[in-house]
Structure 1
Amino acid sequence: MLTENVFRNRAAVISNAERSLLEGAISHVQTYPAGSLVVRQGVPVDISTLLVKGLMTRHVDAPDGRRHPVALHVPGDFVDLHAYALKKLDHDVAALTDITVAVFRHALLEEIQATEPGLARRLWFLTLLDAAMHRQWIYRLASLNALQRVSHFLCETHARLLAIGASEGHAFPLPMTQADIGEVCSLTNVHVNRVLRELRESGLCNVRGANVQILDLKGLVERARFDPHYLYLNPQTAARAVGHTGNIL
């Protein structure tokens, strides 16, 4: 099911009936090649998209032409649910890789809000989760040094992929270039290369091509000052995200 990963391993659960309703609200499924603008800043929209496959970004373009990402989205994310309420966005939404999205027309989301208050609250949870991750994004760029920023980003991505079953716990796919990681962490390519080498030589993780191999998750979490509380994962997934594998009550 296309919406299977939306609430998987989250603190907010969704029933089979609610999942079926959400599936039924999908208008169509669409693909975009890497680099495509899916939603353009300031343009009125009457749809929202759920990411099924690939990676997407939300970003703001500076006057000098530089792109400033403000969010990275993984499969299962309801990327621009904000557009349902705002009707146009103050940033661009783009495909970082080749992507597949499920498209929801706002008219059907309006029906869900009117007739299914429980499901509407769960969709609201997703927009609040986006806000929580954005606050952590600001903290990462404002308060952490280069090594900590990259480590924190890798820990966060690992935790989010754990939540949708896309990480094995010690390795996960990351189809991003060093330039992409640099934009996300506000670092130059040279700086990112130096940090990744230090992480590898320290025995914490190895980023090679489009894959990340975690060599010492607890050490990486400590280096990153990472706490997954803001991702609102269930206790079991949150524990795995920081390297705790014992029983969780």
Structure 2
Amino acid sequence: MSLASLVRKLEQFVRLSPVDHVILNRAATERVRHFAPRVDIVREGEKPKDVHLILSGWAYRYKQLEDGRRQVVSFFLPGDICDVNVFILREMDHSIGTITAVSIADLSREFFDKVAAEHPRIVTAFWWETLVNAAIQREWTMSLGQRTALERIAHLLCEIWLRLRLAGLTQGDSCDFPLTQGDLADATGLSKVHVNRTLQELRAEGLIVLKGKTLSVPNLDRLMSAGLFNPNYLHMDHEGRQLDAVGTRSDAAAG
């Protein structure tokens, strides 16, 4: 398994050194676990022991009421880290489940202590990851409170597509898309019937093509317009990615 998705994403913000790459690769290969689709990786109420890095597959964070009603509050894609500082909590306040078959690397407290002491660029990149995740959460709250059904779905599709592209996981205008209409309903606060109707509307307008488990976006600008999507909260363009290891502009960037 490769760390390519994580490294590509983190290096949008800070240039990692060859030693940083070695440290990340070692951490991601020492303690790897595999999960089947539609199972829990960790449940609400359990004591968190490690930070989980998604090596492959899709997962989601969710909250569930006693009567079974569920709210998906975030999706995890390959290269994502599930809560960098979660091990400081006494117990989980949410659950993390798989959508597809998933492989994760368990990152220990000792790993983070070592990184904090010896690898400041990795620390900076992890903080960027944390802040972007918080920004995504704010945007989801905006969708639930203010966007229409079509805007919610279009916005979520734009976000997922751009996050996959950032991690190098798109092919042309297409990407893997294993989410069911039930997953989309639980993430957007809509009924499955409403999600189905909205997807049909997006298809009819030529904004998306969904075939099997593949999503195609023929014209991203049009889909972004339909979802009132501003990608600024994903913070994909940074000063930091043009800086070299000691924090000065590289010759190529300066030129």
One fold, TM greater than 0.5? yes
| Paired position in structure 2 for 1:129 | 132
Task: Report how far residue 157 of structure 1 moved.
Answer: 0.5
| Paired position in structure 1 for 2:16 | 14
**For 2:83, what is the secondary structure of its paired residue?**
coil
Distance 2:170 2:114 in 1: 35
Check whether the contact 2:14–2:121 (CA below 8 A) recurs between aligned residues.
no
Q: Deviations over 1:204-229 (max 9, x none)?
A: 11222211121222111100111111
Task: Report how far residue 87 of structure 1 moved.
Answer: 5.1
Distance 1:216 1:24 in 2: 40
Let me know the Cα RMSD of the aligned residues.
1.8
Give the 3 Å change call, closer, same or farther, for CA 195–221 of structure 1 in structure 2: same
Gaps of 5+ in 2: 239-254
**For 1:203, what is the secondary structure of its paired residue?**
coil
Gaps of 5+ in 1: 236-248
Task: Report how far residue 14 of structure 1 moved.
Answer: 2.5
Aligned counterpart for 2:234 among listed residues 215, 231, 234: 231
TM-score (norm 2): 0.86
Distance 2:133 2:89 in 1: 15
Check whether the contact 1:12–1:125 (CA below 8 A) recurs between aligned residues.
no
Give the 3 Å change call, closer, same or farther, for CA 225–118 of structure 1 in structure 2: same
Distance 2:236 2:162 in 1: 9
Give the 3 Å change call, closer, same or farther, for CA 144–12 of structure 1 in structure 2: farther
Task: Report how far residue 123 of structure 1 moved.
Answer: 1.6
**How is 1:94-113 mapped onto 2 (pairs within 5 angstroms)?**
94-113=97-116
Q: Relative CO higher for 1 or 2, CA cutoff 8 Å, sep ≥ 6?
A: 2
1:90 is the counterpart of 2:93: yes
Task: Report how far residue 23 of structure 1 moved.
Answer: 1.8
Check whether the contact 2:177–2:213 (CA below 8 A) recurs between aligned residues.
yes
Q: How many residues of Structure 1 are paired with residues of Structure 2 in the alignment?
A: 236
Check whether the contact 1:82–1:127 (CA below 8 A) recurs between aligned residues.
no
Distance 1:21 1:15 in 2: 10
Task: Report how far residue 7 of structure 1 moved.
Answer: 4.0
| Paired position in structure 1 for 2:252 | none
Task: Report how far residue 2 of structure 1 moved.
Answer: 2.9
Structure 1 ranges of 4+ moved more than 4 A: none
Check whether the contact 1:162–1:169 (CA below 8 A) recurs between aligned residues.
no
**For 2:81, what is the secondary structure of its paired residue?**
coil
| Paired position in structure 2 for 1:144 | 147
Check whether the contact 1:46–1:87 (CA below 8 A) recurs between aligned residues.
no
Q: Deviations over 1:54-111 (max 9, x none)?
A: 1111111123211111110100001232313335321111111111111211222222
**For 2:31, what is the secondary structure of its paired residue?**
strand
Distance 1:13 1:96 in 2: 31
| Paired position in structure 1 for 2:26 | 24
Task: Report how far residue 158 of structure 1 moved.
Answer: 0.5
**For 1:6, what is the secondary structure of its paired residue?**
helix
| Paired position in structure 2 for 1:81 | 84
Deviates further, 9-18 or 208-217: 9-18
| Paired position in structure 2 for 1:62 | 65
Aligned counterpart for 1:41 among listed residues 29, 40, 44: 44
1:223 maps to amino acid = A
1:180 is the counterpart of 2:183: yes
Q: Deviations over 1:134-166 (max 9, x none)?
A: 111111111100000000010001100101111
2:152 maps to amino acid = R
Q: Deviations over 1:144-202 (max 9, x none)?
A: 00000000010001100101111124111101111111111111111111111111111
Q: Deviations over 1:22-57 (max 9, x none)?
A: 222233111101121111223222211111111111
| Paired position in structure 2 for 1:189 | 192
| Paired position in structure 2 for 1:207 | 210
Task: Report how far residue 125 of structure 1 moved.
Answer: 1.9
**Percentage of pairs with the same residue:** 30
Distance 1:78 1:70 in 2: 15
